[in-house]
A and B are shown apart, each in its own frame.
Chain A
């Protein structure tokens, strides 16, 4: 007989699988077996049903799909005999989980088995129910389980108790039905029932405050007595584990007492004696005893207590901490962490030991210790601790560095009383583990540096030194490059020398070299390279004699495959060549970055959102802080007259121009988009599927390009616009026009978008020589996500439009509903209009702005006309 046919028994199949040398062989055997089992299932072969299921369980354990065997479980469960039911229930628990629809079919069999005369069958049903029941089954079968809590056999009672836990977890509303039965379980003598009963009470307390009150009043006394009995019980071989009688029961009782004592002084008071007894009398040389002590300490920490017991508890933890067993040290650290919230002072005593644990060879212990140490740092001990941690950073494992770096950075920031200390520590971290430093951390560092005007020289020199020694740390390179760009002159002239500094001679050439190294380093990523480019631009003005060389480096990037770099180098080259007058003003040192704004933005937990278009007003302070000394904001401060709070603020622009916030994810910042847009995203109907970032250079440039005959200066404008991540609202031509003025010396007449008294200004969504589309916006009260748009179409030509049809499409995050139009004939020469209502629901309200692609078709002079347009200058927050 073929050894792999359905005739093989379980043992043979396991042997065959074990004999497989390769995964492919194993798959082949399993496939054959599965085929045989399927065939057998199809024949409805009763004799082999349990064997098939046993095989399937083994196959499932190996990770193969076995769903076709699920119905077999149900059939076996429905059969009368105990052996069939036993394997059927086992299969049910292994092959199914609570989310399978099939499971509902078993409810009836379960109900019958819960009422079966054979207690072992009742046990099987309870076990299955407890392990995999769903909320519906819990509701259906709760009465049966409740009744079984009073079954004559203790082994059924204990199973019913645990099953009840599952039920109340699934359906907390059923909890109150179980309170009384659970309370009566607490009086049992059978350890199994007692353990499960106590556990049930604990879980009831978690889901029902009524249960908590009830047990607190009625059962605290009894539980204390039970614990006392078990603590003082004589040796009993059945339950003894290394000299302790039933540690499991100990632990569960302590756990329930903790729940009852928490927040209730009276209940806590009643248990203090026994807790003290457990804490002092339990043997601590074996794991079982330590497990009890651990639980006892946790209970002492959680209940309301005057402190006497807590000293005892902390002492136990101190002993744990010096234990040689790693497990014990681990739990001690775990527990001390919770203890810090009660009284950090007592924990502080163990600081040195904890610091040692941070350097342990065991990753689990290290992580715990670091978390704990993080909580222990305060103003008094921060300096030595940070020193230790940074020293350890040099030798720690790679995988631990990420965690450690994040913690150090966070601590240094939190406790930075002096800026110089903060900068020093951060520089050390950057040089040791710069690659693990998160973006917002080095952004924050730059903000601090920019604010510490007396330390600029010191910082740039220190960074230069660090840069020379460790160039492979990305974030160090970035910060260094930024500082050299900003304060390059201070680096060379040794401005602001501090006493503690060693003198250093850096020539202008060295400074340019450093930035060149950064840009040419092949490991540098886009952000670093872009920052280096900007630094070079700045240095060209700081060191005019090196201007030519810098231009050479910049020009090398003109052919860069990364669009961003290519574009910037072309723009910068242009600035160097064509606008020497502007250059020095353009690249002046950045105005002091506003710390409050920065931290406010960080609190928004959106570090990359810095360069997005949202939050316009909060960006303003950056530039406004010193408008007089910041020529760029002045030049570009286009918020002339009546433009309603454009997100385009001078500060924002400046910041972006200098690349502080250049985020490699271009998503919302139109930085990468406009060039693409100007090619032809517009007509690419397919691209509507992906949420296009709202860009702005786009529509502005479109409008402008139509009124511009000379394209050359326009390139410049477009470049700058994209560079500055001009965003949504900056679209109105009124904004763009003066900029044209500046760079070009002439410009089109001011075009102003129409203003409106409404909450949302109406929008000329589309205008051509023949047609104008106006959008009026309104919101329904109470649904900020939904915007009602009334579109008004006006015919600007002298011919009547027939069969007028307006269509619109939106990306996935929007939902669009179009009402029928008021008419399909549009009279000529603006002599009447068509209106149509649209309803747009923005599922990303507040995050993304509306964007829409429209298509307008009509007939005029018997000719079909089709116009398409993408509209992305919607007002924000729609």
Chain B
């Protein structure tokens, strides 16, 4: 483990008894429910989330009793189970939480440097709200409307909910309200504090920082080969500070020329390889917009470079350039020095606009969606309200774009270049979705982690800016749910191909929860360079450490490894659905009716049991018939074979 938090140091902490040590996590003697109860606290977002995601967190169904008992035992202490280096900052009694579904609840609030913890003891069972502070987008003091001296606070959250609290006006006017304390720790960056991820020292049996290694990923794809090479030109992030240090480029373009190509592309993000087709050698390359400007500036090097990308694929004499933007926006970018490739300058290249809107449109769309789903849903106008948010339409455009890319590469055997303006939002969505459709490796848990590390983290999707970790400036125009949208698209794929993905819905929800929680270092910072500078891998824990240490929670029991099988989803709006399990999970009325996962597990267990019995019987029959006549063994043996080919 690279992080200092060791078992010994944990032992000295007052909350150490609650922490899973390496031993207890890996030991088989620990019962399953205990394990998950221990591993759970940092991850259960709140009691409401428990209710909503019951379908996803199997231990609440399989063994609900221990879980319930756990809560009751905890409730005696009125304290959350603290994580390593998590310290209580303030506690207040008699705070009212206005739950939009249950009503006003009176209880105790505890604020630590990681979370807000509310517990209401009046109810049976007691009500618990456990909220990582990273989720809070804004805290507003709502004027004390009542004359009884209540002060009310509204917490706007990044994960599709708003919370409202109230407590009595402090008699001691000098004393700070607990919510003022909360503001300090909810926005550590703005208050000169450290994000909790740097303090969290949990040790997991697996080190998630080792999941992705650029060179071995390129090697898996067969790079370097006769047409592509690995370049170290960006080793010190001098050519492009938002790109990774390891890049794959066409063989016949020397590093010096690469620099000139980079100069012609916005932010120096030159076209580099994302994925190569193992058979046809058609490639997916990504970059930012060319700096064409109003004068239609051209770059011989860039033209030659794209020609080299095309030539690297012998199967096709054409290159498709996918510009993710609507053509109007692309043209408007010329005023700012950007623009798009003219087909005059790029012979044999065809430019396609994919009509995907920018981050501001997406942010607005998700805001509207939140209005429609939280807290109340208007039944009679649900569908038209949903339509008016245009969220699904945006999802459709992104999926349709990725589908076109995948189709060109797979069916057309043509190489493609994808870009938008800067090449770190829409471009990442498109390339990673296309790669997910094209390459079954990315549909495994580890492969998906690699995909995120590669296409999103190393290629500089600006997570810090888009999410605004620990930053109180909630109106920042750079914030946008680009990554959420991508995960939504992945979910749509899993809906259409339920057996093609090794991970389940809970995996996707967990990733999104920790996009905001600031518990892990994975989504901190904006680029590989920054992450290196901040020593993120040394100072924080990777989300993949947590996930890979309890894979059984996140695996899809129906996964079939369709290697080399390309997924072509249906992208019409008629075939897309709202991801209810994420966007409306706080509404207890949306609780799924049936523990479907449990039935799946039962079926799998039943099948294993029966298969075993069939095998036994068969052996018996074979033995018996071998001793008498051979014809009897024939039929059962033949009839058994198709069974084994499944799943």
A binds B: no
Q: Which A residues fall within an 8 A CB radius of B?
A: none
Q: Which B residues fall within an 8 A CB radius of A?
A: none
